[in-house]
Structure formats: C-alpha cells, structure tokens
C-alpha cells in the first residue's frame, strides 16, 4: 500500500515536471521566448555559487562535464555560462535518465527516514530529457554532448578528454567513487570539482565518498558562498 501511494505521488510529480519542461520548450519557438529563457537563466546563474565556480574554472583549459543531469536544471545554467564565456568548449552530460543502476543504492546512502525502496525509485522516467536538452542547445548554438547510460558504461567514453570543471550531482556513495576514480585525473591543475551532495543530510554517502577519496590526496573540500546558494568544491592541485 505504501509503495502504491509513493508511486502515485511520484507519477504526479513527474507529470508536473514534464509540463514545466514543455512550457520551457515552447519558448524556443519564438525570438521573444528564447530571449526570455536566457534572461531567466541569467537570473538563476546570478544566485548560484556553482556558476561562480564555473566562471573561475574557465580560466583553465579543458571541457566541462556534469555527472548527474536529471531534467537538466543545472546543465542549462552551465551551458548558458559556457556559451557566454568559452563558446568553443564542449559541455558533457552523463546520466542514465532512468535513475540509479541496480545495486547503486548501498547502506551508506540510507538514512532513518529514507529507505532503500524509497531511494531506488527516484529520478526514473526522464527519457524525454536528452531530446529536450539537445533541442535547447541547438537553439542557442551551444556545444552539448550527452552520454545516456549508467556511469559504468559511459565514463569510458569521456576518459580521453581533459576538464576544467566537473560537477558531481549523482547522490550516492558508489556513484561518487565511480566518477572520481574515472575523472579526477582528467581534471587539469587549477580545475574545479563541485560536489552538489556534499554535507547534505539526504545523501550521507556522498560526503563519505568524497572524504575517503581525498584522504590521501593533496586537495580538501572548501565551501563557496560567492552567491546566494553555497557550493562545496575542491581545486585540483598542480
Ligand atoms: C539529483 S539528480 C541530478 C540533478 C541535476 N544536476 C539538477 O540540477 O537538476 C541525480 C541524477 O544522477 C543520476 N545518476 C545517479 N547515479 C547514476 C549512475 N550510476 N549512472 C548514471 N546516472 C546516475 C540519476 O539518474 C539522476 O538523474
């Protein structure tokens, strides 16, 4: 019974998100709509320390990557910033667009009020997102390269690139370790890694994974309050 109600609520939430994205997509059809869309993104970027860190990171060479895209809210802001400041760089986005892989949620991610069952159903049903994001990027001539699939299958496809900026927003302990194992060495000295889930009550495994990974490395996690919404990050050492 609880699972039935949970699924019902999840479906409703998802329908609301799709309706919101359809309204956003409709803006791409007219010049006024497109400029309104960009103005809205500018407002969101002005609130975001993630974006302030990205602006700093773009002083270094390399591409940009987000691991954990979901419906593309942060990715659109990243794309807008890169288009304004470094339009030749490519923004990569990695996501299954169907939630966590089987076995992706482990004991490190579960809290008293968030069971494994509950977490496993999150972020499913985002199949419509890649086409929407590609259409958005095309409309503004932004360089976007999406890789759909579980990280274990997609990280290899970007491992020949170097990155000025890596945004990790994949929630779980296992996801963080997979991404850091594959991409830490691909981030250039002075490049920045932002940890969206660090120090959150919802995803304790994210903090644990980052702390464990950095324990024998020279970097440490810092927090940026450059803009209204703070962000946890590290700067890659030389
Ligand atoms: C919190 S959401 C991302 C939110 C997004 N950055 C935003 O600002 O709206 C986390 C995403 O990570 C993805 N994800 C988590 N683990 C993954 C894995 N192992 N492989 C692929 N995608 C994964 C989920 O599918 C989900 O869409």
Write down the domain spans for the chain. 2-235
Bridging pattern class, strands 187-195 and 231-235 = antiparallel
Secondary structure class of 51 (helix, strand, coil)? helix
User: Residue 1 pLDDT > 90, yes or no?
Assistant: no
CA of 217 to the centre of ligand 1 (A): 26
Ligand 1 atom closest to 151 (CA): 20
pLDDT at site 2: 72
Pocket test for ligand 1, best of 49, 51, 69, 78 (most atoms within 8 A of CB): 69
Mean pLDDT lowest for which of 112-116, 127-131, 197-201, 221-225? 112-116
Ligand 1 atom closest to 66 (CA): 6
CA distance 70 to 98: 8
Q: Which residue has the tokens 């990974």?
A: 213
Environment class of residue 125 by beta-carbon count within 10 Å: exposed (0-12), middle (13-18) or buried (19+)? middle
pLDDT at site 7: 80
H/E element, 168? strand 163-168
CA of 170 to the centre of ligand 1 (A): 4
Q: Does the beta carbon of 99 sit less than 6 angstroms from any atom of ligand 1?
A: yes
Q: Which residue has the tokens 């892989």?
A: 101
pLDDT digits (tens, 9 = 90+) for 139-175: 999 999 999 999 999 999 999 999 999 999 999 999 9
pLDDT digits (tens, 9 = 90+) for 184-197: 999 999 999 999 99
pLDDT at site 108: 95
Q: What residue's CA is closest to ligand 1, atom 5?
A: 69
* CB atoms near residue 113 (< 10 Å): 8
Question: Whole-structure pTM over 0.85, yes or no?
Answer: yes
The CA-based angle 169-166-24, given to 5 degrees, is 60
Average pLDDT, the chain: 96
Q: Does the beta carbon of 76 sit less than 6 angstroms from any atom of ligand 1?
A: no
Q: Does the beta carbon of 197 sit less than 6 angstroms from any atom of ligand 1?
A: no
CA of 32 to the centre of ligand 1 (A): 31
Q: Does the beta carbon of 205 sit less than 6 angstroms from any atom of ligand 1?
A: no
Average pLDDT over residues 204-224: 98
Q: Which residue has the tokens 């309204």?
A: 23
Ligand 1 atom closest to 70 (CA): 27
pLDDT digits (tens, 9 = 90+) for 10-33: 889 889 999 999 999 999 999 999
pLDDT at site 136: 98
Cβ atoms of 28 and 139 within 8 Å: the answer is yes
CA of 168 to the centre of ligand 1 (A): 9
Both tokens of 13, joined, read 């939430």
CA distance 167 to 91: 11
Q: Does the beta carbon of 60 sit less than 6 angstroms from any atom of ligand 1?
A: no
pLDDT at site 227: 96
Mean pLDDT lowest for which of 28-32, 123-127, 233-237? 123-127
Q: Which residues contact 40 (CB under 8 A, 6 or more apart)?
A: none
CA of 4 to the centre of ligand 1 (A): 24
User: Residue 113 pLDDT > 90, yes or no?
Assistant: no
Average pLDDT over residues 112-131: 90
204-214 and 173-183 helices, crossing angle to 10°: 30
Classify domain 2-235 at the CATH class level. alpha beta
Give, as one character, the DSSP assignment of residue 167: E
Cβ atoms of 54 and 164 within 8 Å: the answer is no
User: Residue 59 pLDDT > 90, yes or no?
Assistant: yes
User: Residue 71 pLDDT > 80, yes or no?
Assistant: yes
CA distance 174 to 115: 17
129-139 and 2-27 helices, crossing angle to 10°: 20
């Amino acid at each position: 019974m609880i699972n039935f109600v949970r699924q019902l609520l999840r479906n409703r939430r998802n329908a609301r998100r799709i309706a919101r994205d359809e309204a956003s997509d409709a803006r791409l059809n007219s010049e006024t709509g497109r400029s309104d869309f960009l103005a809205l993104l500018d407002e969101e970027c002005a609130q975001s320390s993630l974006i302030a860190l990205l602006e700093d990171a773009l002083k270094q060479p390399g591409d940009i990557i987000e691991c954990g895209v979901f419906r593309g809210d942060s990715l659109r802001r990243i794309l807008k910033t890169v288009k304004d400041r470094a339009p030749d760089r490519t923004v990569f986005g990695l996501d299954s667009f169907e939630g966590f892989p089987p076995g992706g949620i482990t004991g490190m991610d579960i809290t008293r009020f968030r069971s494994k069952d509950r977490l496993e159903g999150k972020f499913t049903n985002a199949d419509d997102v890649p086409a929407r994001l590609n259409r958005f990027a095309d409309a503004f001539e932004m360089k976007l390269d999406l890789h759909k699939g579980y990280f274990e299958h997609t990280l290899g496809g970007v491992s020949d690139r170097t990155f000025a900026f890596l945004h990790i927003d994949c929630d779980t302990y296992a996801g963080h370790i997979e991404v850091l194992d594959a991409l830490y060495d691909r981030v250039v000295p002075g490049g920045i890694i932002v940890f969206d889930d660090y120090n959150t009550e919802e995803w304790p495994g994210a903090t644990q994974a980052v702390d464990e990974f950095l324990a024998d490395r020279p970097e440490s996690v810092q927090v940026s309050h450059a803009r209204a919404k703070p962000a946890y990050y590290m700067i890659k050492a030389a």
